[in-house]
Chain A
Amino acid sequence: MSDFKNYTLPNGINLHIYPTEKFKTIVYSIFLHQNLKKELAAKTALLPYVLERGSKNWPTTRELVITLENLYGADIITEVLKRGERQIVQFILEIVNPVYVQGNGSLEKKGLEVLKDILTNPVVEGDGFKESYVNREKEILVNQVKGLINDKVTYAMERCIQEMCREEDYGVYRLGRLEDLEHMDSSELYSYYQKFLNTAPMDIFVLGNVDTEQTLSLMEETFNFSRGDMFPLEPTLVYKDVEEPRYVEERLEVNQGKLTLGYRTNTLVKDEDYYPLVMCNGILGAFPHSKLFQNVREKASLAYYASSRLEKDKGIMLIASGIETGNYEKALEIIQQQVESMKSGEISEEEFESTRVGLINSVKVMDDSPYQIISRYLSGIISDRQETQEEIIEQINRVRVEDVVRAADKIQLDTIYFLRNKD
């Protein structure tokens, strides 16, 4: 049984309340879902940047920040997420549980007022958002998109995904395309936002030391604006047969080469083979005991990091390692050997057991973080496979070696991306 109590507000917003005394804070988290499309992505991504600049009642960033700082450093954070072929805009309000600070019973109410104002009451000029905010935030967003290159580890992985999914919506970067930002004006953006807020599927989470009934009525009162019919969310393309793997090389002034391999798993979160796939990824590369770490790093001494990870909502797996450029052939061979050994079932009992208990551990510790509790439940909503901690553990425990081999057998190498030095 889940600890979330679920409600639907009259305007179609889904509300999920999780009362717990475990944490020092109360977290409010709002998610607005959008289909990931190349022509929409930049526009959607720009919204939280502009909204965070100010609202009618607190029209400048400075006034907003001062108000929040006075609430014991309450924090409003916005994020743009990509989960499968879905783009999600998140607004988070985290406040200190009022029991720890004397005489501050209205912290929650004040914090929510600000959050609501940011969301529903932006600073408007004419028929658009305030232009100076839009222009400045466009610049910020452009720099952030360009800034991806600063962190070579992340950059290499993102580039591999972009190359691999260049003909799919998933190839669109989380923050969209630069060219779409150039001629986007504040009135176009504002009318897009009005429509978005009015019709986007929306989830609100409340987690912390709260009373369910009181929170329900507080939220009904706070989020009482009317909304229209919601637009449908499209399914993510997951199954794909690869004819021939593609090699992509990029040259930059770097000291270390980054080898990234993109695979199609052909397994969806809702599929029966999902937990076998999770085990497969674990044995292959999610832990220090995994094949990649053991063979690329510990045995061959070729890298500091070598690991694999699943983009579960897209059904792809990425293997990443940082190596000397000259060791490309050697590293690639060892990595591919590890994937092959998964397919042929060369899995020791120790590898299997360590992965099983390691995964169970990582599921259990999620309950110790407000953000991870919310994130797990949100994942359940996205994948339409909502499971409790106990249910997940039970299914991990049920996986056998032959299931792992079956899942491994569906994995196909799609793209080899190599970021290397210029010589």
Chain B
Amino acid sequence: MAVICERFLENETIKEKVYVATLDPGLEVFVFPKKGYNKKYASFATQFGSIDNTFYVEGKEDLLEVPDGVAHFLEHKLFEGENGNVFDEFARLGASANAYTNFTMTNYLFSSTDHFEKCFDLLLNFVQEPYFTAESVEKEKGIIAQEIRMYEDNPGWRLFFNLLSCLYEVHPVRKDIAGTVESIMEIDEEVLYKCYRTFYHPSNMALFVVGDLEPEKVIHQVLDNLEKRNYQPLGDIKRIYPEEPQNVREKCIREKMEVSQPLLNLGFKDRKVGFTGRELFKKELASELLLEILFGKASETYTGLYEEGLINDRFGTSFVGEKDYGYSIMGGETPDPDKLYQALLSSIKKYAQGFREEDFERQRRKMLGEFLRNFNSLEFIANNFLYYHFRNNNLFDFVNLLEEITLEDIHARFGELFDENYHSCSIISSNGG
């Protein structure tokens, strides 16, 4: 075992520094010292999310197709070790552990103020030591079924996934992260082990640690831990996604639920995909700037809709850009979803003539301020560094990229992203009950 490469990244604006080491067989370890913080936060993440349901390893087994919800199921089960529940072991040390799964990654984390080294070893060990039995897999199905039921009653969640199921014809991003009560019933310990052996290889993972810590010591602890495990190199993981057409699947989807007021999400499918690295990051920032200019609280659209009573202050926008897909969403609660839908579409058209330089500069300034502010939070730092790392980016690039973006980039993004032919809308209305 050895350190393949060691370096550090820093940013003069944020005045922070992160140490990075690449350890054999390909694990990236980040240590971000945060002086004066009591909390230490560590996360161990794999590039395995809900969309990774068809894959193979180069030079190895055949193509594998797994039931929906496996990544999330595996996340639940990894907390159960041969000697019981890992939560309990963290609890004995006063630490709290958790994990989450999204479309593209699974992240295991803990935070503690004392006994960092013991907790860190615990994290390293439990993520690298799967223990699945038929009995424990069965038991977990009841728990996850209740988790799925809970989300079924969550209007915001339904609104979002209904929209994705309209925007995408075949791409697995259209499916719920946890799968369905039916799909998880197909999961057994064998499929969990198969996924584990592929996606939990160190070369597909990264570690991020932040807190008042010494980088050398942390990196050394990881080295010691990996040394005994005798990892063999793994071929490239090939993820197979179905060919997604540019067109949306459906224009509009409606569902009735117990809500006090209807909800609307309008989504645009980004057809300019295929980027990674800086280009992807830049596209994301340009899209976010654009959304702020169009729909932010200072925009004419927002002010007008608010006065008209069509939106409230929880109206919001977001952009997600991955290598193979991207979308922007805008929406919120509204008394009249159909009217809001039309109003949003026509407000976008007004911008075809152009944008004001001052709006652009002001939003850029605001985004920088908000970015800086987020560095108060260890959770933000760790989760976002990992997120961008898995896209071949470095979170610190945010500052330079934001500076690089021009008004022309915003114009270009506007043309690419807001084509009326590539949108869908999702509406949740009250069942009147």
Q: CB within 8 Å of B: which residues of A?
A: 21-25, 60-62, 65-66, 69-74, 94-96, 100-101, 132, 136, 139-140, 143-144, 146-153, 252-256, 287-289, 297-298, 301-305, 322-324, 350, 353-354, 357-358, 360-361, 364-365, 367-370, 422
Contacts and interface: CB of A to CB of B under 8 A. Distances in A.
Interface stretch (B2-10, B24-32, B164-172, B368-376): B368-376
Contact of B143 (A304, A353, A361): A304
B228 interface: no
Contact of A140 (B96, B147, B312, B373): B312
A298 B431 CA distance: 35
B431 A358 contact: no
Given A101-B369, A365-B39, A287 B146 contact: no
Interface string B334-368: 01000000000000000000000000001101111
A223 B375 CA distance: 30
Q: Classify chain B: how many residues form its interface, as a range.
A: 35 or more
B36 A304 contact: no
A304 B144 contact: yes
B185 interface: no
A290 to B, nearest CB: 9
Nearest to A102: B13
Most A C-beta atoms less than 10 A away, residue of B91, B296, B372:
B91
B238 interface: no
B373 A96 contact: yes
A253 B365 contact: no
Given A303-B143, A361-B95, A361-B112, A369 B260 contact: no
B373 A322 contact: no
Contacts of A22: 36-37
Interface in B181-201: none
Nearest to B13: A100
Contact of A253 (B38, B95, B257, B296): B257
Interface stretch (B150-158, B245-253, B318-326, B404-412): B150-158
A364 B150 contact: no
B87 interface: yes
A101 B403 CA distance: 14
A301 B139 contact: yes
B216 interface: no
B146 A323 contact: yes
Contact of A354 (B39, B88, B154, B156): B88
B368 A101 contact: yes
B142 A25 contact: no
Contacts of B143: 297, 301, 303-304
A22 B34 CA distance: 9
Contacts of B312: 140, 143-144
22 contacts: A62-B303, A65-B296, A66-B298, A72-B369, A100-B15, A101-B369, A132-B307, A143-B261, A146-B261, A147-B333, A152-B154, A252-B258, A255-B149, A287-B91, A289-B87, A289-B91, A303-B146, A360-B113, A361-B112, A368-B37, A370-B376, A422-B433
A153 B91 contact: no
B298 A304 contact: no
Interface in B101-125: 111-114
Contacts of A151: 154
Contacts of A254: 153, 258
A145 to B, nearest CB: 9
B235 interface: no
Interface string B81-107: 000010110011111110000000000
B142 A301 contact: yes
Nearest to A305: B150
B38 A367 contact: yes
Nearest to B14: A100
Nearest to A72: B369
Nearest to A152: B153
B176 to A, nearest CB: 13
Contacts of B307: 132, 136
Contacts of A96: 369, 372-373
A253 B258 contact: yes
Given A303-B143, A354-B91, A255 B365 contact: no
A65 B298 CA distance: 6
B112 to A, nearest CB: 6
Nearest to B12: A100
Nearest to B363: A69
B213 to A, nearest CB: 14
Given A66-B362, A72-B366, A368-B37, A304 B147 contact: yes
Closest 9 CB pairs of A and B: A72-B369, A357-B94, A73-B366, A73-B369, A301-B142, A289-B91, A146-B260, A354-B91, A304-B147
B309 A69 contact: no
Contacts of B362: 66, 69-70
Contacts of B150: 153, 256, 304-305, 322
A364 B39 contact: yes
Given A25-B373, A146-B260, A358 B91 contact: yes
B334 to A, nearest CB: 10
A147 B258 contact: no
Contacts of A422: 433
Nearest to B156: A150
A150 B372 contact: no
B297 A94 contact: no
Contacts of A323: 146
A301 B143 CA distance: 5
Nearest to A366: B38
B152 A255 contact: yes
Given A22-B37, A253-B433, A368 B378 contact: yes
Contacts of B96: 287-288, 358, 361
A331 B38 CA distance: 38
A60 to B, nearest CB: 8
A147 B260 contact: yes
Given A61-B303, A152-B154, A364-B39, 15 more contacts: A73-B369, A94-B373, A150-B258, A150-B261, A256-B152, A256-B153, A287-B91, A288-B87, A298-B85, A302-B142, A304-B147, A354-B92, A357-B92, A358-B91, A370-B376
Interface in B388-428: none
B379 to A, nearest CB: 10
B210 to A, nearest CB: 11
B132 to A, nearest CB: 16
B243 interface: no
Contact of A73 (B147, B335, B365): B365
B62 interface: no
B375 A24 contact: yes
Contact of A324 (B146, B153, B431): B146
Contacts of A256: 146, 149-150, 152-153
B192 to A, nearest CB: 18
A289 B85 CA distance: 9
Nearest to A322: B150
A71 B312 CA distance: 24
B139 to A, nearest CB: 5
Given A61-B306, A253-B431, A255-B152, A150 B91 contact: no
Interface in B255-305: 257-261, 296-298, 303
A49 to B, nearest CB: 9
A305 to B, nearest CB: 8
Contacts of B87: 288-289
B215 to A, nearest CB: 20
Contacts of A367: 38
A289 B36 CA distance: 29
Contacts of A357: 91-94, 114
